[in-house]
Chains A and B, each alone.
Chain A
């Protein structure tokens, strides 16, 4: 190793840069990461949006911590908001009022924080739906799907702990529900509630505790998970939509440096701008309307932020009694009667639990049913995986029915229908909706696949009506180009796999169950066009068009 090849900088800036680079090796990192390719598609950018809104949350949240005091000590408000002057409240509420009305730019920062929180969870959810519907969670990305799912749950945790901090009437009612759900848990419920609130609800400890979680533990876990998530994205490389030249072994797109870095950097500021625009013009969480927390009143239109809405909706949908059957059970024990409040326990825990369980397990469920253990770096078009798309839509409907139920009162007032009827319909949809959604989505997917076949085999409708010498009318069909044909004919063709015996020749019960699901999923399918089918179709067309379009037939 001699110094013959050593780079000699000529300017002083160059010398400083070289000095730093030769010690930290930045150019090697840039060389490696700068050449990383990212495919370009608008639907790939929601994860980025989530990350950018999270950065915004950190920035605006830090500003808020300078002024917020999470104490539940009692004070009398004496700030500038007249309709609250002289009212007793907690220090937390009072400092929130101070941020809103007496800190310069405070209300704007509060609104930036809250709007970006709503957008954070929304973009996270859309990102997750994109990953699900395109099958991007398949091998080797199953674990990253799980990390993403945990990120979603941490997003909900961050949101809920933050929502409760101002100690206003609205969020206090939310905590009251949490308290109710905790107390409904058998045996440990009351203990849990007492530990959490530091005594009887609401106590004087819960806001400081939530504050610690909200500004330290939850964000730290989120940052850690984001790092793991992105590390895995780099290791696995990004998935891409199928297309000519895009295979399972390459990635077609732009390198990080300079194009993608510039785009992504610019996009951060665009997201920043959008949130600032919304926060500047639209009010969010006006705690001064709700007033300080007081356990007695509950105002109309009390809902949680949207991402907790589905749990609230499930609670609203659950009946307390069904005919003569009560969901509040009194179980006699030797030491006395214990109560099991199923009308709270079931809706609060079961639907959300089931939803997350299926979500986390789905990559493994799919792998087990399809016996597909290959690596997949090419995405599915949703129509080409009818079973998965249909399952996804069923899940979305299941979620949305509960979500809608959380706003049942507003649906009633704004669409002039009876609140009771809204509840009855949503109860019915809770059970029927997902089934109907599954069936309908699968039919639509299969029809779209048939349409694709039709286009490949007979060309697309040109919109030109021709009259034959006999006087008959027919529409001219144009053959599609090879790129489009490639896209329409190349997809994973999943078929029903009957139960297979294991090495000992025995067909296990589990395998039979798998075959049953496989049959349910893949019995109806539309196969991609094979080369021979295409050949035959073209030959048939050639015959046809001898009479009509001579030029066309000559080309073939």
Chain B
């Protein structure tokens, strides 16, 4: 110990200390990252035939933009390492193949059946480790906590998706879609992969259990409906004000005309 403290004024001590610190931070980060990545690697146990079939589908339908080996091109990003969850979400909600170039890909009826989607996902997952399709246990809303999910949702999601998950505007024509009618699996995958302009909420940011809570919250408010009557789109005071000025005043004006009318 004394030997070490003697060298503390050495010209290279600062450099050594810095290297040591960086090494520790780096190892911790890798370790933390691996915890979430490890799960992804485990579940991609797809057969080689699925991967081959997926590759055929990929070449026929996706390669124009994403490149023959999914390496990306000017019109589409690289898909190496995006994981099976990403493919399942994008293709499963019909966002891919993309309807048209625009501020962001729009949801439409899915173009592939479940088997084809899983084959595509298997192929893309084989190119590099990424978030996997979530286990059933994380989609089971009977195990989730709606109240905690609501808090997580309000802090992380409501600024774009609206407090009642009705959707909202982003810049330059982009938007956060409504979450009503979106399946549990797709909600989870969206959080894990961050499609379009959405940030990635990985497992160290929002844990799988919390993701389940968020899904439970969304499904609860969807099932509950609106307590006070027609929700007017859950858009807040603008819809209420519009209703006041059109329907509310409209009915009142109809009555004032009736009251002041005279038989003539």
Contacts and interface: CB of A to CB of B under 8 A. Distances in A.
Contact of B240 (A49, A83, A284): A284
Given A284-B240, A413-B168, 4 more contacts: A83-B149, A267-B259, A299-B154, A303-B236
A118 B244 contact: yes
A181 to B, nearest CB: 19
B171 interface: yes
Contacts of B103: 418
Interface of A: 40-46, 49, 82-87, 100-101, 107, 111, 114-115, 118-119, 122-123, 126, 169-170, 263, 266-267, 270-271, 274, 278, 280-286, 288-291, 294, 296-307, 309, 406-410, 412-413, 416-420
B143 interface: no
B238 interface: yes
Contact of A305 (B221, B241, B248, B249): B241
Contact of A417 (B173, B240, B249): B173
Contacts of A409: 168-169
Enumerate the 8 nearest inter-chain pairs by beta-carbon distance, A residue then B residue, closest first.
A300-B168, A306-B241, A283-B228, A299-B158, A409-B169, A418-B173, A42-B256, A299-B163
A84 B154 CA distance: 12
A305 B237 contact: yes
Given A87-B147, A289-B221, A406-B238, A301 B249 contact: no
B251 interface: yes
A118 B235 contact: no
A286 B226 contact: yes
Given A85-B147, A283-B231, A306 B168 contact: no
B158 to A, nearest CB: 4
B131 interface: no
Contacts of A298: 159
8 contacts: A83-B221, A86-B147, A274-B252, A285-B240, A296-B155, A306-B241, A409-B169, A419-B171
A209 B229 CA distance: 31
A45 B248 contact: no
A45 B256 CA distance: 7
Contacts, number: 194
Contacts of A49: 252, 256
B163 A122 contact: no
Indicate the member of B234, B248, B260 with the most A CB atoms within 10 Å.
B248
Interface of B is mostly: helix
Contacts of B259: 42, 45, 263, 266-267, 270
A309 B172 CA distance: 23
A270 B255 contact: yes
B159 to A, nearest CB: 6
B175 interface: yes
Given A123-B252, A406-B238, A412 B227 contact: no
Contacts of B16: none
Nearest to A83: B146
A89 to B, nearest CB: 11
A185 B229 CA distance: 42
Contacts of B231: 283, 286
B232 interface: yes
B150 A101 contact: no
B176 interface: yes
B163 A301 contact: yes
Contacts of B38: none
A126 B154 CA distance: 37
Given A83-B146, A83-B150, A297-B159, A115 B244 contact: yes
Nearest to A288: B227
